[in-house]
Amino acid sequence: MKSIIENRTWRYATKKFDATKKVADKDIEILLEATRLSASSFGLQPYHVLVVTNQAIKEQLKPASWGQTQITDASHLIVFANATDFGDDMIDDYLNNVSETRNIPVDTLKGYGEFMKEKLLPLPQDSKTVWTEKQVYLAFGNLMQAAAELKIDTCPMEGFEPEKYNEILGLEDKNLNACVVLAVGYRSEEDETQHYAKVRKSPEELFTHI
């Protein structure tokens, strides 16, 4: 219990990363696995995650990120891209995965598949986009908390131009849209933000027990 709260108190949106420090591959693998295991509505995970370490690509993304130095100084840049549209294939692929993973006939999942299609496929395009973005944020939050457990710094970033990210990362042709970005690395000693007290609503203001 104590470490859970301490790690979340320790975590903050890092404004200045130490560009000389890199996150070890084994730790990145843990973070990505934590992301993969995140909750998702129906288990569908309607998004894709790009892990950017190529410095030249990061330099291209920086102007599309309001010039923020986290983009180029962080060890890794993790871009979450939500599906902009989906149809039968997404659900059928998931059912096949369930069948293979649990070693059960795919025919036994037909009713569940029809239920998902009935609920999701008729949604208007804008509602589909909102739904896939919500799924992104479930995984995104899980990744940030996993990083805090490993004492790896992060900075969640919505301050960027999705259209330019989509162009640079080749997302448009894949029916994907850059939704939110997480800079991952280690804080610089020069980042004064790390010394600020965390400001949140009081429990009395935030929670209602019924």
CB 147 within 8 A of CB 184: yes
Average pLDDT, the chain: 97
- The confidence band for 1, taking pLDDT boundaries of 50, 70 and 90, is low
Residue 178 belongs to a domain: yes
Nearest residue to 117 (alpha-carbon basis) of 82, 84, 91? 91
Residue 95 belongs to a domain: no
Beta pairing class for 176-185 and 76-83: antiparallel
Nearest residue to 153 (alpha-carbon basis) of 191, 186, 116? 186
What's the pLDDT score for residue 135?
98
Q: Please give the residue range of the domain that contains residue 152.
A: 2-85+126-206
What is the rounded average pLDDT of the residues 47-64? 98
Q: What is the pLDDT of residues 74-105, one digit of tens each?
A: 999 999 999 999 999 999 999 999 999 999 99
Dihedral in degrees, nearest 10, Cα atoms 94, 166, 148, 196: -150
Nearest residue to 152 (alpha-carbon basis) of 75, 79, 78? 75
Residue 93 belongs to a domain: no
Q: What percent of the chain has pLDDT over 90?
A: 99
- The confidence band for 2, taking pLDDT boundaries of 50, 70 and 90, is confident
Residue 109 belongs to a domain: no
Does residue 201 carry a pLDDT above 80? yes
CA angle 11, 56, 77 (to 5 degrees): 20
Q: What is the pLDDT of residues 24-44, one digit of tens each?
A: 999 999 999 999 999 999 999
What is the SS3 assignment for 34?
A: helix
> Total structural domains in the chain?
1
CA angle 63, 81, 58 (to 5 degrees): 30
Does residue 19 carry a pLDDT above 80? yes
Residue 94 belongs to a domain: no
Distance CA 170, CA 177 (A): 10
Q: What is the pLDDT of residues 115-140, one digit of tens each?
A: 999 999 999 999 999 999 999 999 99
Residue 90 belongs to a domain: no
Residue 14 belongs to a domain: yes
Q: Is 132 exposed, middle or buried (0-12, 13-18, 19+ CB in 10 A)?
A: buried
Q: What is the CATH number of the domain that holds 53?
A: 3.40.109.10
Residue 24 belongs to a domain: yes
**Residue 49: strand pairing partners:** 80
